[in-house]
Structure formats: C-alpha cells, structure tokens
Structure 1
Amino acid sequence: MQFKLSQWRGLLDDRNRFFWVLQGVGWSGYALVHYIGSLMHEMRDIYVLILLLGAYAGFLLTVPLRYLYRRIWDVRPWQLVLIVLSSAYCSAVTWAVIDNATYWEIYKFGFRPESNWFYFKNSLAKFYIMLSWSGLYFGIKYYQMLQDEKQKALVATSMAHQAQLKMLRYQLNPHFLFNTLNAISTLILVKENELANRMMSKLSLFLRFSLDNEPIKKIPLDRELDALKLYLDIEKVRFDERLRVNIDIEDKARNALVPSLILQPLIENSIKYAIARMEEGGEVVVKARVIGDDLVLSLSDNGPGSKIPPQELVKSGGVGLANTRDRLEALYGKNYSFTLSSNEPTGLCIDIRIPWEQVEGL
C-alpha cells in the first residue's frame, strides 16, 4: 500500500515521530555507508555485527543529546556553543570506548594496538560525527521554528484579509437598511400598512440571506440572483412600475461562483442615481456570460448618466462602487477587471470580469 500524502503531512506535523524516523534512517544510513566502504577490503562476516553495534551505540548516545538541547535552547549563544561542544565531545569519547571495545574484543579477539594513535583518531572521528548530528538537529529545529512563524504569519494575514472583506461587505448594509427603514416609516405615516408589512417581510428575508452568507465566501450566481430579487422586491414597493428590471443570464453562468451580494450595491447605485431621478422611471439590465475562462457580469441602466467621466466615479462616487472594487481586489488580486462606461443611448454600464469558477460536482 502506498504511503499517502496526508500520512506524510501527519508525519511532518508530529515532531516527536519525525525525530525518531530521522534518527532511525540516519543511523541506518551511517551503518550502510560504512558497510559499503568495508567491501573494498577483505573483512570477515562478523564485521557487519561490529558496524551494527557501532551504529546502535551512536543512536542511543544521541537520544540524551536531544533532551539536553531542548533544555538549553534559550540560553545565551556562547553558553549554547560551550555546552554543545562539551556534550558532543563526551558522547564521542563514550562512543569511541564502546566502538573500540567491540572491535578489539569481538573482531580482533583481544589484540590491542601498540600505539594509542588509533584510539585518538577514532575519538576525533566520532567527535566530528556528533558535531554533525548536533548541527543537523539545530538546523532542523530552527527550520521548523521558521515554518511555524511563517504559518502564524499566514494565519494572521488570512484573518486580516477576512476581516477586511467583512468590513467592506457589512459597511454597505447600514446604508441600505437606513434607506429601507426610512421608506417603511414613510409608508406607515401615509397609512400604507399593507405595503409597509410586505416591505418589512422582504427586508427580513434579505437580511437573513445576508447573515447566512459570509462575505469571504463565494456562492453560485443563482443564489446571488435570489438575493438580488429579494432586494428588488423591496425597491419595487417603493418605485412600483417606475422600476423595470431585465435579468439575462446564460445557462452556463448560473453555477459560476461569485462573491456574495456583489451585485446589490451596484443595483442600489443605479436606482439611487438613475431610476429615482427620472419621473417616468427607468430600466436596469443585468447580464452574465461565460467568455473563455472568465465570467463577465454586466449591469447597465438608462438613466441620465454622469457628468463625471465613468472611470473617475469609483473615486468620487459613493461607498458602493469603491467597496465593490476593493472586495474584488481582495478576493482576486490582479485577476479581475471592474470597468465603468457610458451606456448607449443614455445611462451607465458596469462590467465585472472575474475567473470562472464552477460549483463543485457540476
């Protein structure tokens, strides 16, 4: 059975298990390298046991170093260096004694060299190995700490990003809520209680939709249109036949993912600056098309237009246009477009182009 990627990730996340795996693999590799080196010389089969005993001794002697290094992690640098050198040297000498004993007693049958140079050279080699092990331990530990800090920074950035999106989305709701409640208050004053009740009911459904859909999440365009229709039902109570809406959505675009309530503030702008200023009312047209790998949303009205050049309206206009652009930038980076242009023969046209992401499973 193949080792799954999730299992590898679980291994890396479990620091204790990861240490023991590296410890086992590292010392097995040490024994294997020495065994391959011994093939160049004529060695008896018993030498394999000597290699295994040496690797096992190194394995055992480095385990206490791990716990020692954990305890001295936060000491001053010069103290850290001193403790590492001394502990590595003591471990190396101990390892060399064990290694020499097994080699001369088991392999050489009790024979001893006439010079102590062999012992010194073996101890020095073991000291270098222990220092290398210590360097790898600290290197891996520092790398894991850097990864932890990087992960924390990513989480903090993500939380800030989510907070920004929520702020941009929820900043629109009080503006819309104020207008709607003001209209309901006016209806009550003129004794239009039935209309006021209908308007309050639609407002309740719209606010529930708004609360149920996080601004950091994307929803299918069909659900976005349902919310838009709730909003338009509220506005039609105010404007009646003066507000005409034409929604033209390509079938392929209906399952496309879009930011929740991305269209409502744009429609609200059209109603406020176009429909409300025309005695005979006007028409708002909403279109959606899939073009290549992009979803193109288009919203236009036949109002009087603006004396300000369309592209400057985002800076000089109300909250709706600027917040919509900022939300798109926060969600898609540079991979979007938000353009305003004059509609023909009159009015304003807003085009949004975002990557086409389809609902999973469809």
Structure 2
Amino acid sequence: MKKLILIYFLLIVTKGHSQIDWKNYSTSFNTAENATLGVAIPYNGIYDNLTGKIVGIAHWNPQDNIYIDAALNDSIPLYFVYDTSGIYFLAPQVNKKNTGEYEYCVLRNNATVVSPWTHINRFTQTEIGSINPEIGMMGPYSAGLGEYLVAHIRNNNGEIIASWVVYWQRRLPEINLLYTSNNPQEFSGVVNRKAVFAEGPGEIGWHRQYNNVGGTQKKGLKLPYNENSIVLDIDAEIYKKEALEYSLVADGQVIRDWAPNEYDNKYLLLKNLDPGAYTIRIRFKRQRNSIREFHFSIGSIWYKTTAFRAVIFTFLVLAGAFFIFLSKYRRQKKALARINEKAEQASGELKNIHALLNPHFTFNALSSIQGLVNKGDLDAANKYLSSFGLLLRETLNESQTDLIALNKELENLEIYMGLEQLRYPFLYNLDTDENIDLFTSTIPPFLLQPFVENAIKHGFSKMNGQGKLHLRIVKNGGIMMIEIIDNGPGFGTGGFKEGYGLGLSRKRIRLLNRDYGEALISLQIESSIEGTSILLVFKNWL
C-alpha cells in the first residue's frame, strides 16, 4: 500500500512539472551556442519583466542603491526582475544521463545557502524555444525585494563553469499620460472601442491630455467638473489587463476596493466621477506591496461664473472654426479622391513588393530582431537587420524592372533564405546547369521567392531543423526549367489553402504570358507526404 501511495505521489509531481507553461516565461542563456546556464522569468501579463546587466559595479547604475557582493566575478550575468512568483534556472548541457557529472547550488545574497551543492534531479518535459526537452531545471526560486540569488554550476573537478545573479527589484507603476473628456456619451463609445482618442477631437468632443502628471503630486492634479471621465495610460508593456490592480478613494472613503483592472491592458478607466478629492492606488499583481498613489480632484459646477460665459464664447469661436475646417476638409477630400485614383493605377507595381515582404514576414523579421536584442546577441541582430535592409533596398530598386539577371535573382533568394533560417533552421542547396550563363540569362524579378516562402512556411515550420530545400536549374535546348523541391509534409488538394504569394504568382504568370502573346512560362505543383515539387518551365527562353 505504501508503494502505491509513493507511485501515485510521484505521478502527481511529474504531472505538475510537465504543466509548466514555458510560453509564460522569458528565457535567456549565458551564450548563444553551447549554453551552460540560463534563467526563465515569468511574464504574468507583462512583457517588460526584467532588465539585463552584468554583475560588475561598472555595468549598472549606482543610483539604483543596490548592493552586490564584490567578490562575485564581474562577467557574471545579472538580471533585475520584478515578479516575485518564482523563477527557474536552466542547465541546457545537463540531462538525465550526465547529471552525475555536475552539481549546482543557490545562495541568497551570496551568503545564505538556499540549495546546497547537489546533482540536478529535475528536467524539462517540453521544448523551450529552440532548446530541446529533458534539460536540467532548478526551481522555482524567489527572494524578497532588494535581495538577490546566485546560482552556480560546477563539474566533477569542482570547477565552477557557469553562474547567474538574479536581483529582485522594487518597481512601481508609472503613469505615462492622463486623458479626459467633457462628452460622456462620445467618450464612452471611444473607450468601449478601446481606441483612446484615436479618432481625433472632431469625433469625441473637447478633451485634454495631461503629460508628466507625476510632477503634480505635491498639490494634486485639479480637474474641472466637466473632465470627470478619465483614462490613465500606465507606462508598462501589459498584455493581460488582470496584471494591473487598483483601488479608488473619494473624500477619504473607499469606493472601489483592490481588484484587477477591468478595462484594457495598460489603460485604467474612471468614468462619470462626482466632484471631490480622489486618490487612486495602483499596483502590479506581481508586486502587491509596491503601490503608486495618484491624487487628483474634480471641481464643482461653475456655469454661473464668468468662466462659463468665456467657455460659451470660446465654443462659438470653435464652432466657426469647425465649419471653416469642414469646408476645407470637403475640398481636401475631393483632392484626395483624385490622388487615390492615380495611386490605384500604380498599385500593380507594388504587388511584387507586398508578395515578398508581406506584413506577416515583416512582423516576424522584426520579432526575430527583437528576440536577438533581448538575448544580448547584438552581432546577430545587426547582421539580421543589415540583411533585412538589403532585401528591402533590392526589392524597391527592382520593383520597376521587368527582367533581372538570373544570378541577381538567386542572390536575393539567398538573402531571403538566410533570414528565414533564423526562424526555421533548414538546409538548402543550389544546382545550376553549367550551360546556363547566370549573368546574361534573365527572369522576372522575385518570381521564385513566393514558392520558396511556401516551402519554408508550410513545410519547415514544424520540422525542428530537419527541412531540406533543393533548387535545380536545368537547360534543355531553348527551354529553362527551375525546380524547387522540399521534404516537408506536403499537402492534399482538398485541404490545402493557397497563400497570397502563390496566388499572386499564378496571376503574375498569366499576365506575363498575356504580355508575351503566348504561354512562355508554365507552373506545375506536385505534393505528397514525402514533400512538394514546384516546376517552372520557361519555353523558348534561352
């Protein structure tokens, strides 16, 4: 019976470990390749969950008023974190087979032993980004604000091969901007659409935006009675509104106790407030003892004062200005319509650019650059950004050209594949017929890219670096044949949804053949569970 209870307990523990959602963690490692130690820090609804530094006093701001043991090596990574729910240390080179070759320990403030030297006995169950499962994991660990943990890993020789310092730093919410409006009905419509004044003052009524509101706290921000609907913009990258909590006090009475934000991510909405003195207390859920207080007041009605008459006069002036503006707006609208007609005529020339650098690719490229910067790999980020800029420049330069040299098309294609390899590692090779002169032979610009993109996106995205792409160019008399072959999972004719790039390429080929007066270019696509083959045949081309 005792054995059954022990087995049941182990199953529960194992299941608990496997349920860690690593997508809720920001992970970093001490090196880009062959990393020996890393740290996983929870997001819990806020992206800006850490600040990376180096332990040495020369590498962080002494005004932060922190103390770190000077005996620690200056090159040890240091992270300031703000979430007290717990972090994990990760050991990518340690697994179940070699765990006996390594030991780890964790110290609080480099003095108090939290975990003594011992072998790692817990391992991840799933992949963490590009890191395979079954790597060593230690934690969760946490410390009080103003304290830090030091993690060390050593080998059998007693040599410390990796270290990491994590410092828990106090962080209060900062108010970036404060918005108000005197039109509750329109204001309600704007905030319900979660578009704070995005449509401009002409649609939401007269309003104000207050900057640097933190500087008003000695006296408190005084608002007139008709600015009693307020939106506070919190300076934080919040993606779950529940990560922000606040309470509201009016004239010394709590009218809203502590509760999660119910409006939208980093925006707090206070609507239809009565006249009085207010204090809003704001905190992050991850640090409930770090509270920001903001004092403000709503004035009483003043329609019987001279100021009210001045407002009426101002309103009449603004109304006249509005009608003048409306008249100019109508004239500008007609002029804009004429401009749009000309723009539509040129839109066909830009479709090639959109096919190559569609919003999804641009977003993914920028996200990859951001990830490299966050990891501290500035060399790779600069290289990626340089290649991305080169590809943009080549696209713009050649968007007006009907044909480019085949070698130039292949160069652009290699730049594109190099970018995609940062997201989806894969292998590729290029075979060209020695009878084809790549410098004199031509091809419509960026004709091959959508087909390669389709192979990478639909074929390699889930292959964990096992993808292979083969590009073959063959001459047969006056015919040039280009074949793009991948070993992806393929697709069935019934379940395959053709992407924008492929659809545009088919249309482009039809238009080219129409301009040539005959079907000089043909496209064939074959797919099976072993991969996909795309064949482009250029008749009477060479």
TM-score (norm 2): 0.33
- If each structure's helix is expressed as a fraction of its own residues, which one has the higher value? 1
Which has the higher Rg, Structure 1 or Structure 2? 1
- If each structure's strand is expressed as a fraction of its own residues, which one has the higher value? 2
TM-score (norm 1): 0.49
Higher relative contact order (CA 8 A, sep 6+): 1
